[in-house]
Amino acid sequence: MVYKKFLKFPLIRNKEYSSGKIMNLMLVDIENIAKIFFNLPQLLQFPFILVLGIYFIYAAIGLAFIGGVISVVVVTFAVSQITKTVSKYQHLVMEAKDERMKKTNEVMTGIKYIKMCGIEDKFTETVHEDLRYIKLT
């Protein structure tokens, strides 16, 4: 399936984007967009749930709920700091994925070239000879 899509990919492309970045956009960023739509209802419900929760806790225990609210604020701050750190490392992971996709694209280009030239049999024979040589040494 990836090979069929790759055959439709133009050989001349914008120099602004590397092949790894383009492949990453196709495979990874679409997943992130889908996650937004999956989590949208929860994002819209959150303020109402928060206000109702605080009201019900206040109704049940009175002003003692302030300690719980302070705890929630402190934990929220800690989670936001952890999220920033994870985001930084996620950026590094995405750069590694870009590099991996660039290498995959190079392999696909090589496969495409071999198939277009009709030298699959000769190439396969050469690879098998190299593998035999590697096994013997």
* 71 belongs to a structural domain: yes
* 66 belongs to a structural domain: yes
Question: What pLDDT shows up at residue 52?
Answer: 92
* 1 belongs to a structural domain: no
* 70 belongs to a structural domain: yes
* 2 belongs to a structural domain: no
Nearest to 21 by CA among 100, 125, 76, 129: 100
* 13 belongs to a structural domain: no
* 3 belongs to a structural domain: no
Question: What pLDDT shows up at residue 78?
Answer: 97
Q: How far is CA 94 from CA 29, 49, 81, 86, 90, in A?
A: 10, 34, 20, 12, 6
pLDDT per position as a tens digit, 61-99: 988 888 888 998 999 999 999 999 999 999 898 888 878
The number of distinct structural domains making up the chain is 1
**pLDDT over 70 at 101, yes or no:** yes
**pLDDT over 80 at 20, yes or no:** no
The whole domain housing 91 covers 18-105
* 45 belongs to a structural domain: yes
